[in-house]
Structure 1
């Protein structure tokens, strides 16, 4: 058997207090609770138990997995989730490891003979009897162990005798091991009444740290969780209030790191008005998925930088609203302006978005519709820039939002900055006469299109994409000639 005892300085609420900063703690580390520290330790061994002020780990079954005692202890200190340093000790028996830990925390020297020379104050079962034992001249574990068994049990009870039997290997050692719940659901009382939603984030960070420990221990990633807070008032200005308010945070990919979820929660809380001051917080998991750690490559070309695409979409969507980040959807239509529509990008994220590690795309130009390099757009100032995905390789890069009517010469030649010279065409399109879906019919013009498309060049050597309405469209200018329109531009 091999036991490791860990101890953090805990406050009255059972959280690690910052009496002694830990140099290994990450800069964004939060203050974990006592329960969160126990869940964190479950990644090293399934045998974890809180005994008084210390956390005991029985690691004999996992030492080989972690590479030995030194490697495991180094890993424990490096992954310490608290903001304070952790004290540790090792022994072949749990209560001896706990006694050695207490000696180290108090700054006292360790005796050479263990457990016989250990002070009685380091034995939990002896603490209720320290005054009497001291008057009897008993100072160490060995002094009490030498007493006759039957009179000792009658005078001090069976607990002290059993603890000494465990220390000398005469009785087995057992503890109530920590067990993970099937679902994460924790509540936290706020230190003071909170009147604005962003102030909840500081207390919510502690619950998120507990959630991270629970996810790591269960090898799960969270897809959705709910943060709710209890309102202090039942009435406000004569109207009834609900007992709680809540926010549901969802992500396209399972997450274990809380940095992204904390940013999403901060953005959502910044736009959430509170109906009344809050007194309690509650965090519960809604949906989780098995966690698969991303593979790491040593090749330089595989070292991607920047946020994954789904992280960018969720963060901007939380800040500007889900409808502000949109992705194109293809439609079965031959009219260029009707070939695609837009829908919220969060609803269209594929399950492998986090693995693609795509960088955020550049903003679309104000001038019109485009074929963007990444299937994503962000609305800004009401702009309605879009994209047209055309099957023809000769289709232009940009489409105008609305086709621009062209002037005609006396001989019917179209003009735009001068007479246009037709280079290719016609490419005939006649579509829009079939029944459409109700939602698409509301967005698109129900009028059929009968057009002949050409690539033209003006005197400034600019390439334009123009079309002429055919006779079947029955729309002509005042002179009875077919109308010409400019619809696209070439870069």
Structure 2
């Protein structure tokens, strides 16, 4: 089933310049020295569409006046289209700030038309835009419903009834003949369709009939789909200088939305992203501040990336105000296929565990979240090292091929950074209480090539039944009567 969503962004010229246009003290957009759009407070002060600059300044001397920029509007519309690619690869741009997306093949994936519409609206809110959304079985029909804010329909019969009630001046080819339609009493599209087609074509041209046939699903439609670029790089200019890094999150979320659509369009997942915070230019120019996010597992989900950016920006201290943001996808991988397991993993999936570790890294720093890197060495101090959890460790190294007899011996999970020398009382090592040996010795003689160790390790038990890992140092060349030296090296949990 072909089903289309139409998105009309009526306030695009204003929102391109001010994301907080609804709360702005008075923002006005001019085109050829006349008001094109105004914020609610500006309209409340008497500013009207079509008013000249002098009239605006007379009513609101403090008004923030900006000129319309078609280039920036096109960039903003392209950013919205990039974000919509996460729902379908078939996105096209129509006239009058409208986007059309074919979502017939995506309904089951996103849980139906209502759930999909909610997600599309949420993406637009994250991008900072408002829109009028429609749904129809034809692309031109969804465009007309979106332009007239006429809601959603799912069948051709419902679309026909809804379109018949729309004004006759809605199709662009009919607008030059608005006075003629009004003169003959043709006020809606339904009355227009009842006119003789040969006469309507001679009067208004073939383009009007083509638009009507396409809207009612009686003629095929051809589109030029928006294609995602081969390399992702997105940037935005902020509307004011930002001195707190946390306030950059809203702009970063807009960039992440575009990244999500780009990744889905190319069937890729990202392993590392870099958010660049641009500072002042000119004589006080300085290089941008880079906020790098390295992921343990590739992802293409915007929620997880935004969560990590929130943690990192909260810890970032700015050395200069920020005037712009840029986002780069530094490391990419093909999307992983879905899990083939029938039942979910108990206690969460592997992806959930990786996301938790990535969140801890973003919050605590990479040097404070470590993983074990075992080494094939008999000496306890060298048998394991700690490396950042984001570092890739080969499974052959992780398994640390040690002899089977060594791997079976009990080792404590907590080894002291430096062994503690123990006191001797009644010829027994003492640590809070006399220690009783509870295991046979494990003799280690290794390191003759670098740092020689000759020790006998024991599991010792205190009077409170706490288990310790102690060793007796064997002095090479000393007699049997030499007093042994005991050390505490680890504790059992």
TM-score normalized by the length of structure 2: 0.68
Shift in CA distance, 434/13, structure 1 to aligned 2, threshold 3 Å: farther
Q: Are residues 1:433 and 2:448 paired?
A: yes
CA distance in 1, matches of 2:279, 2:150: 42
CA distance in 2, matches of 1:166, 1:176: 16
Whether the 8 Å contact between 1:425 and 1:452 is mirrored in structure 2 is no
**2:418 corresponding residue in structure 1:** 402
Whether the 8 Å contact between 1:47 and 1:178 is mirrored in structure 2 is yes
Whether the 8 Å contact between 1:469 and 1:475 is mirrored in structure 2 is no
Q: Secondary structure at the match of 1:251?
A: strand
Give the deviation of 1:221 after TM superposition: 1.9
**2:299 corresponding residue in structure 1:** 255
Shift in CA distance, 121/338, structure 1 to aligned 2, threshold 3 Å: same
Q: Secondary structure at the match of 2:483?
A: coil
Give the deviation of 1:490 after TM superposition: 4.5
CA distance in 2, matches of 1:181, 1:116: 40
Match of 2:113 among 68, 73, 82: 73
Match of 2:325 among 277, 281, 296: 281
Q: Over residues 210-236 of structure 1, what are the superposed CA-to-partner deviations in whole Å (9 max), with x where a residue is unaligned?
A: 222222333322222222233224334
CA distance in 2, matches of 1:395, 1:152: 89
Shift in CA distance, 234/271, structure 1 to aligned 2, threshold 3 Å: farther
Q: Secondary structure at the match of 1:212?
A: helix
Q: Over residues 113-139 of structure 1, what are the superposed CA-to-partner deviations in whole Å (9 max), with x where a residue is unaligned?
A: 787775321102222442455457654
Q: Structure 2: where are the runs of 5+ without partners?
A: 23-74, 153-157, 400-405
Q: Over residues 303-341 of structure 1, what are the superposed CA-to-partner deviations in whole Å (9 max), with x where a residue is unaligned?
A: 628983332332222233211122222223322233212
Q: Over residues 371-428 of structure 1, what are the superposed CA-to-partner deviations in whole Å (9 max), with x where a residue is unaligned?
A: xxx99xxxxxxxxxxxxxx735344454444333334468x55455666554543432
**2:57 corresponding residue in structure 1:** none
**2:133 corresponding residue in structure 1:** 87
CA distance in 1, matches of 2:311, 2:352: 18
Whether the 8 Å contact between 2:177 and 2:204 is mirrored in structure 1 is no
Whether the 8 Å contact between 1:138 and 1:144 is mirrored in structure 2 is no
Q: Secondary structure at the match of 2:286?
A: coil
Whether the 8 Å contact between 1:9 and 1:19 is mirrored in structure 2 is no
Q: Over residues 83-119 of structure 1, what are the superposed CA-to-partner deviations in whole Å (9 max), with x where a residue is unaligned?
A: 468532424x533443344445399xx9967877753
Give the deviation of 1:49 after TM superposition: 1.8
**1:379 corresponding residue in structure 2:** none
Aligned length: 416
**2:368 corresponding residue in structure 1:** 324
Residues 115-134 of structure 1 aligned to structure 2 (within 5 Å): 119-131=167-179, 133-134=181-182
Task: State which drifts further: 274-283 or 10-19.
Answer: 10-19
Match of 2:199 among 125, 129, 147: 147
Q: Are residues 1:265 and 2:317 paired?
A: no
Q: Structure 1: where are the runs of 5+ without partners?
A: 21-31, 352-373, 376-389, 436-445
Shift in CA distance, 144/289, structure 1 to aligned 2, threshold 3 Å: farther
Match of 1:194 among 242, 245, 251: 242
Q: Secondary structure at the match of 2:259?
A: helix
Whether the 8 Å contact between 2:213 and 2:219 is mirrored in structure 1 is yes
CA distance in 2, matches of 1:113, 1:464: 83
CA distance in 1, matches of 2:411, 2:217: 84
Residues 456-471 of structure 1 aligned to structure 2 (within 5 Å): 456-457=460-461, 463-471=467-475
CA distance in 2, matches of 1:271, 1:335: 39
Q: Which has the higher helix share?
A: 2
TM-score normalized by the length of structure 1: 0.68
CA distance in 1, matches of 2:326, 2:300: 19
Whether the 8 Å contact between 2:174 and 2:204 is mirrored in structure 1 is no
Root mean square deviation, CA, Å: 4.5
